[in-house]
Amino acid sequence: MKSCHVLGAVAAAATALILGWVPQGALAAETTMLTFNRWTPATHHFHARIMKPWADRVEEATQGRVKIQFTAASLGSPARQFDLARTGVVDIASSNQSYTAERFPLAGFAELPFLSSNAEALSVANWRATIALQKQVDEYQGTKLLTVFSNGPAMIFTRDKAVKTIADLDNLRVRASEGIPARIAQLLGAVPVSAPITEAYQMLSKGIIESIILPPDSIHSFKMDQYLKHMTTTPDGLFSSTFFVVMNEAKWNSLSEQDREAIMSVSGENFAREAGKVWDDQDKMALAAFKKGGMDAQVANEALAAEISKRLVVLEEEWLALAKAKGVDGAQLLKSVRDDIRSYRDSAGSTEGKQ
């Protein structure tokens, strides 16, 4: 009887193979599923136009051997994203580096004022400089850095009155992330109020803050233009935020070399470029919406622009001093960033200056 059962099982298996039937779970054994913590709404372009398309490209590049599954809701605050990946709570995470500026002090080079008005160009330059910097000081230990990228130029948005002189910024309560954004607010005479972007709308509605210094898209996509009715711009913006995408190091090392190479083929500079393009496009749509909605748009006059530049020059000096203390040639790194932005802008593929 026992041999009959064995023969029956063998026959059934043979029949299944002939008919092309695969037992449930067999395919899953050949697929590595990576969990990506999603902290923005599924409809927000950070997920819908940047992270989700990248996840699709990973699946395609690995021929389905690696798939990425996003959480239904965030398992931690925006400031906790790096640690979620580092400690293995999730496999992949992404966030704004300024939310934990103390962890990424040297990464602040890409947030310095007046670098570029084009997110695509800055994102590519950011990635190249970050890779060079990582060989000297690794601020991403415990993870595999998959990419970094930048959003568009930050502008001054206010609720009650336009900023036309530097005095208009005195004691203005400005939502600003830690690090360079908060320092910018301080240097301009404002009072920085730290909070994640996800909390800014409520803070505006309750009058806790009166102003935000962010790119146009951030204002529009989080619906803060319902309260912010004035915009003041400066050439190349006051700063651009830097975002990281990291994977738990042990999880990364568990993947085959073939799959690691495939993932990086659609990550790194390629991912940075695609993300930058999305930010540029989102800014264009936001500016069009502001115009349609009647937002008061001001261009900083010569006196205001000069005063802003004068007050903010110290930020680069401070970053250079920090880089020197860590044994990094900061001047050379910033030169390479500016050279890359300039060459990217001048190349046929760049759209800088056409916004």
Q: Could you report the per-residue pLDDT of 197-211, keeping only the tens digit for each?
A: 888 999 999 999 999
d(CA 130, CA 135): 9
Length of the chain: 355
Sign (positive/negative) of CA torsion 129, 135, 139, 140? Answer: positive
The token duo for 251 is 């999880």
Given this model, what pLDDT does residue 178 score? 85
Given this model, what pLDDT does residue 350 score? 40
Tell me the residue type at 317. Answer: E
Given this model, what pLDDT does residue 177 score? 85
Given this model, what pLDDT does residue 5 score? 41
pLDDT of residue 20 exceeding 90: no
289 falls in which pLDDT band (50, 70, 90)? very high
Edge-to-edge strands, sheet with 155-158: 191-193, 173-175, 211-214, 155-158, 230-233, 296-299
Q: Could you report the per-residue pLDDT of 29-88, keeping only the tens digit for each?
A: 489 999 999 999 999 999 999 999 999 999 999 999 999 999 999 999 999 999 999 999
Given this model, what pLDDT does residue 218 score? 93
Tell me the residue type at 312. Answer: L
What is the bridge-based pairing of β-strands 155-158 and 92-96? Answer: unpaired
Indicate the helix (H) or strand (E) that contains 96: strand 92-96
What is the bridge-based pairing of β-strands 211-214 and 242-248? Answer: unpaired
How many other C-beta atoms lie within 10 A of the C-beta of residue 306? 12
d(CA 55, CA 53): 5
pLDDT of residue 305 exceeding 80: yes
pLDDT of residue 299 exceeding 90: yes
Q: Are 155 and 231 in contact (CB under 8 A)?
A: yes
What is the bridge-based pairing of β-strands 66-70 and 32-36? Answer: parallel
Those residues whose C-beta lies under 8 Å from the C-beta of residue 329, and which sit 6 or more positions away, are 323
The percent of residues above 70 in pLDDT, for the chain, comes to 90
d(CA 59, CA 352): 31
Which ranges of the chain does DSSP label H, i.e. alpha helix? 2-19, 26-29, 45, 52-61, 81-86, 119-134, 180-187, 197-205, 216-221, 249-254, 257-265, 268-293, 302-325, 330-346
Domains in the chain and their CATH numbers?
2-105+134-150+242-281 (3.40.190.170), 155-239+285-331 (3.40.190.170)
Q: Could you say which DSSP state residue 74 is in?
A: -
Average pLDDT, whole number, for the chain? Answer: 90
Could you give the 3-state DSSP secondary structure of residue 85? helix
